[in-house]
Amino acid sequence: MYWTLELATNLEDAPWPATKEELIDYCIRSGAPLEVIENLQEMEDEGEQYESIEDIWPDYPTKDDFFFNEEEY
């Protein structure tokens, strides 16, 4: 299983919170790339609900990661 920013953005508008099966169903209906569906299928399913993409991919970059702050440099 691997995630990229491009693949993960397909889940941004998913109906959170959602189970693994609900996310797979959403991806199929929304026409997400096959890699996204395969990544979700490879996840261990404990019947839990995921609150956001960060629960699936902890390293998911936030919008703050993309802003340049001149004061930091």
Q: Looking at the domain assignment, is residue 58 inside a domain?
A: no
Parent domain of 19: 14-44
Q: Name the β-bridge partners of 18.
A: 50
Greatest Cα pair distance, the chain, in angstroms, is 45
Q: Would you say residue 24 lies in a domain? A: yes
Domain count, the chain: 1
In a domain, 3, yes or no: no
User: Does residue 33 lie in a domain region?
Assistant: yes
User: Could you report the per-residue pLDDT of 5-62, keeping only the tens digit for each?
Assistant: 889 989 989 999 999 999 999 999 999 999 999 999 999 877 889 999 999 988 888 7
Q: What pLDDT, on the 0 to 100 scale, is given for residue 15?
A: 93
Residues 6+ apart with CB under 8 A from 36: 7, 10, 11, 27
Q: How many CA atoms lie within 13 A of 2 on its CB side?
A: 2
